[in-house]
C-alpha cells in the first residue's frame, strides 16, 4: 500500500471487527470517495481524521427486517436507525409493500401502515424507488415485493385461490419488479389479509418466480403460536420446492404454552440446511411483538378486507361469533393481559394507549374480546398493538443460533412522535450489543456484529456491503462497546440509543462524534447478478 496517497477519511486507533466473525484487530481504516481504500497499521494521509481509540470499528449494520418503506420518504434523516449504527434497511417485509399499485386508495387501506403520509402516486418498484431517492435518505434501502400488495393489485382481498390468469399475472409482477434497482426480495405475511388466504401451491408458484430472479424469500409464517412447527415446515417445504433462499422472519414462539417450541424450529432449520435448503432466520431482542389488532380476529371475519370486517362488527350476530372465537383462543394463542394498545388518534379510546385489552375491559366492565372489537370498530378496523407474549429463554436460544441475523421489525425513523410504539425501532442493535454481549453474555461481540453485517448481506445477495474489506462500500460504524445500550422502553419508547459515535454511509459522515450531520448519502441497493 502506498502510504503517500491522501485519502478522504482515515479512522485511526480502533479495534476493527470486519463482520466475518474473526477476532478484532487493531488497525486504521481509510476511505476515499464511497469505498474503503486501505486497512492496516498506517499511518495513512487523510483530509479528515476520526479518532477511534478505545472504540470498535465495524461495518454498518444491515437491518434485514424493516417496515421503513412506509416512513423513510416522510422522515429520510432516519435518526433512530443511524443512532443504532444501521446503514441499510431492507423493507417490504411481512407481505406488505408499497408496490405494485393498481388502485391507490385500496393499496393504502390494505396495509397496516395506512396512516403514514405517503403519496401512493407510483405504480411499480421503479416509481417507488424514485420517490424514496427523491426524499434523500440518510440510509441505504433495499426493497421487497410484498405478497399482500400483489394479491390486492391483482385479485383484491377475497378469501379464494387465484385462477390461472391471476397467478400468472402475480408471477409476472414479481419478475418485472426484480428488474428495478433496489429490489432484493419477495415476502409473505401469512397472518395478514389477504396473504392468509393463500394456500401452499400459490406460494410455491410465486416463490419459484422470485427464485428465478435470485430474490430472497422472506416470510412472516402462518403461525408463531401453537402451530409454529407446522408453519416452519410449510416455509421450508415452499423453499425446497421452489429452490429459493428462505428467510424466516422474526422467529419466535408466542404464548406460554408454546414456549420452547423454537428448539424444534431451529432443529428443522438445521436439518433442512443439512440436505441443501438455503434457509436462515432473524430475531429481535425483545419478548414482545408488535402488529395490527385485526390479525387477532378469525380468518373468516376479515375476508374482503377491513371494510368487510367493519360490516361484520356492525352485525350483532356476526360480532358475537367473532368475539366467541377470540375468547376460545385466550390462554392459547392470545393473552389479553399482553395485548397492549400502542397508538390511537384522539377519540373514545385514546386515554387507553399503553393499556392491555384486559385492563381496559376491567376499567369498562366488559371482557377483553369485546374491548378488542370495540376498538377496531372505532378505528376503521386497524389498530397497532404491542403484544407481550414471548420467553426470554427463547430469545436467547434463537439469537445464539449461527444462522440467525439480528433485525428490528421496526418502522419508526423519527426520534419523537405520538403513542407508544415498540422500542425495537429505537434500540434493537445496541440492545444486542449491550444486553446480550456485555451484560448477560449470550454471544461474542464479533459474532453479534457478524449477525448484523455479513450474515444479512449474504441473505439478500449483496457482496459490496456488510464487511470491512478494501473495495467495499464505506458503510462504517464506530461504537463504544463498553457503553452501547438501548434506552427506549415500552413505557417511554421515544429514546435514541447511546454508544454509537460515528456512522459513515457510502463514505459520508452521517453521525460524527455523536452529532447528526444532516448528510443524506443513502442509495438503493444493487443486488448481485444471477449466475
Q: What's the chain's average pLDDT?
A: 95
> pLDDT, tens digit, for every residue of 35-49?
999 999 888 999 999
Secondary structure (3-state) at 290: strand
> Grid coordinates representing 330?
385466550
Order the strands of the 216-220 sheet from edge to edge: 61-63, 86-90, 140-146, 183-189, 216-220, 246-248, 279-283, 404-406
pLDDT value, residue 530: 40
Q: What percent of the chain has pLDDT over 90?
A: 87
> pLDDT, tens digit, for every residue of 36-84?
999 998 889 999 999 999 999 999 999 999 999 999 999 999 999 999 9
59-286+389-460+469-510 classified as CATH 3.30.470.10: no
354 burial type by CB count under 10 A (0-12 exposed, 13-18 middle, 19+ buried): middle
416 burial type by CB count under 10 A (0-12 exposed, 13-18 middle, 19+ buried): exposed
3-state secondary structure 248-285: ECCCCCCCHHHCCHHHHHHHHHHHHHHCCCCEEEEECC
25 burial type by CB count under 10 A (0-12 exposed, 13-18 middle, 19+ buried): middle
pLDDT value, residue 123: 96
Task: Name 4's Cβ contacts closer than 8 Å, sequence gap at least 6.
Answer: 45
By C-alpha distance, which of 414, 419, 429 is closest to 352? 419
Delimit the domains of the chain by residue range. 59-286+389-460+469-510, 290-386
Structure-derived torsion over alpha carbons of residues 17, 436, 443, 277, reported in degrees to the nearest 10 = -100
Rounded to whole angstroms, the Cα distance separating 508 from 510 reads 6
Phi/psi region, residue 341 (left: phi>0; alpha: psi -120 to 50; beta: rest), is: beta
CB-facing half-sphere around the CA of 278: CA atoms within 13 A: 16
Secondary structure (3-state) at 515: strand
Among 83-97, 371-385, 386-400, 473-487, the minimum mean pLDDT is found in 371-385
Phi/psi region, residue 91 (left: phi>0; alpha: psi -120 to 50; beta: rest), is: beta
Number of H-type helices and E-type strands within the chain: 16, 20
pTM score, whole prediction: 0.95
State the average pLDDT over residues 186-198: 96
The overall longest dimension of the chain from CA atoms, in Å, is 81
At residue 1, does pLDDT exceed 80?
no
pLDDT value, residue 346: 80
By C-alpha distance, which of 441, 362, 454, 369 is closest to 399? 441
> What's phi and psi for 61, nearest 5 deg?
-75, 140
Rounded to whole angstroms, the Cα distance separating 143 from 185 reads 7
> pLDDT, tens digit, for every residue of 299-337?
899 888 888 999 999 999 999 999 999 999 887 788 899
Q: How confident is the model at residue 531 (pLDDT cuts 50, 70, 90)?
A: very low
Sign of the alpha-carbon dihedral angle for 142, 147, 151, 156: negative
Rounded to whole angstroms, the Cα distance separating 181 from 528 reads 11
Q: Where do runs of H (alpha helix) occur along 288-409?
A: 306-313, 316-329, 357-364, 368-378, 392-400
Which residue's C-alpha cell is 454471544? 443
By C-alpha distance, which of 8, 12, 14, 11 is closest to 46? 8
Q: How confident is the model at residue 481 (pLDDT cuts 50, 70, 90)?
A: very high
pLDDT value, residue 332: 77
Structure-derived torsion over alpha carbons of residues 441, 447, 450, 456, reported in degrees to the nearest 10 = -70
> pLDDT, tens digit, for every residue of 507-529?
999 999 999 998 999 999 986 54
pLDDT value, residue 2: 52
At residue 217, does pLDDT exceed 60?
yes
State the average pLDDT over residues 140-159: 96
pLDDT value, residue 517: 97
Task: Name 206's Cβ contacts closer than 8 Å, sequence gap at least 6.
Answer: 147, 150, 167, 170, 171, 174, 186
Amino acid at each position: 500500500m502506498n502510504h503517500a496517497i491522501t485519502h478522504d477519511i482515515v479512522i485511526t486507533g480502533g479495534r476493527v471487527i470486519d463482520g466475518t466473525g474473526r477476532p478484532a484487530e487493531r488497525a486504521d481504516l481509510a476511505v476515499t470517495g464511497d469505498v474503503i481504500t486501505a486497512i492496516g497499521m498506517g499511518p495513512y494521509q487523510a483530509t479528515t481524521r476520526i479518532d477511534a481509540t478505545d472504540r470498535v470499528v465495524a461495518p454498518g449494520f444491515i437491518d434485514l427486517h424493516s417496515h421503513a418503506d412506509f416512513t423513510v420518504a416522510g422522515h429520510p434523516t432516519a435518526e433512530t436507525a443511524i443512532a443504532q449504527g444501521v446503514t441499510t434497511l431492507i423493507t417490504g417485509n411481512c407481505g406488505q409493500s408499497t408496490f405494485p399499485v393498481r388502485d391507490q386508495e385500496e393499496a393504502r387501506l390494505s396495509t397496516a401502515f395506512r396512516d403514514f403520509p405517503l403519496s401512493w402516486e407510483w405504480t411499480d418498484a421503479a416509481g417507488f424507488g424514485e420517490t424514496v431517492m427523491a426524499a434523500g435518505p440518510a440510509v441505504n434501502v433495499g426493497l421487497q415485493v410484498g405478497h399482500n400488495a400483489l394479491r390486492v393489485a391483482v385479485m383484491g382481498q377475497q378469501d379464494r385461490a387465484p385462477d390461472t390468469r391471476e397467478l400468472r399475472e402475480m408471477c409476472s409482477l414479481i419478475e418485472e419488479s426484480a428488474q428495478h434497482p433496489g429490489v432484493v426480495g419477495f415476502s409473505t405475511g401469512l397472518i395478514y389479509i389477504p396473504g392468509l388466504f393463500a394456500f401452499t401451491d400459490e406460494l410455491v408458484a410465486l416463490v419459484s418466480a422470485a427464485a428465478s430472479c435470485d430474490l430472497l424469500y422472506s416470510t412472516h409464517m402462518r403461525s408463531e403460536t401453537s402451530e409454529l412447527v407446522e408453519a416452519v415446515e410449510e416455509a421450508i417445504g415452499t423453499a425446497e420446492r421452489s429452490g429459493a433462499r428462505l428467510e424466516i422472519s422474526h422467529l419466535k414462539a408466542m404464548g406460554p404454552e408454546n414456549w420452547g417450541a423454537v428448539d424444534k424450529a431451529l432443529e428443522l432449520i438445521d436439518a433442512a440446511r443439512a440436505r441443501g435448503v438455503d434457509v436462515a432466520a432473524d430475531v429481535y431482542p425483545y419478548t414482545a411483538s408488535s402488529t395490527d389488532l385485526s390479525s387477532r380476529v378469525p380468518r373468516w371475519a376479515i375476508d374482503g378486507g377491513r371494510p368487510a370486517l367493519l360490516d361484520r362488527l356492525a352485525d350483532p350476530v356476526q360480532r358475537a361469533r367473532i368475539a366467541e372465537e377470540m375468547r376460545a383462543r385466550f390462554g392459547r394463542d392470545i393473552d389479553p393481559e399482553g395485548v397492549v394498545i400502542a397508538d390511537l388518534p384522539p377519540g373514545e379510546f385514546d386515554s387507553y394507549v399503553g393499556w392491555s385489552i384486559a385492563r381496559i375491559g376491567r376499567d369498562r366492565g366488559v371482557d377483553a374480546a369485546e374491548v378488542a372489537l370495540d376498538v377496531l370498530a372505532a378505528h376503521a378496523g386497524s389498530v397497532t398493538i404491542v403484544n407481550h407474549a414471548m420467553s426470554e429463554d427463547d430469545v436467547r436460544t434463537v439469537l445464539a443460533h449461527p444462522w440467525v441475523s439480528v433485525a428490528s421489525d421496526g418502522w419508526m425513523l423519527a426520534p419523537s412522535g405520538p403513542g407508544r410504539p415498540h422500542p425495537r425501532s429505537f434500540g434493537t442493535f445496541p440492545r444486542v450489543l449491550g444486553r446480550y454481549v456485555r451484560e448477560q453474555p449470550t454471544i461474542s461481540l464479533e459474532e453479534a456484529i457478524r449477525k448484523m453485517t455479513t450474515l444479512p448481506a449474504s441473505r439478500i445477495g449483496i457482496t459490496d456491503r456488510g464487511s470491512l474489506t478494501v473495495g467495499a462500500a464505506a458503510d462504517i460504524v464506530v461504537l463504544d462497546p463498553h457503553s452501547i445500550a438501548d434506552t427506549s422502553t415500552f413505557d417511554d419508547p421515544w429514546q435514541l440509543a447511546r454508544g454509537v459515535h460515528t456512522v459513515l454511509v457510502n463514505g459520508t459522515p452521517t453521525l460524527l462524534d455523536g452529532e447528526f450531520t444532516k448528510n443524506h448519502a443513502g442509495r438503493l441497493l444493487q443486488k448481485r447478478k444471477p449466475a
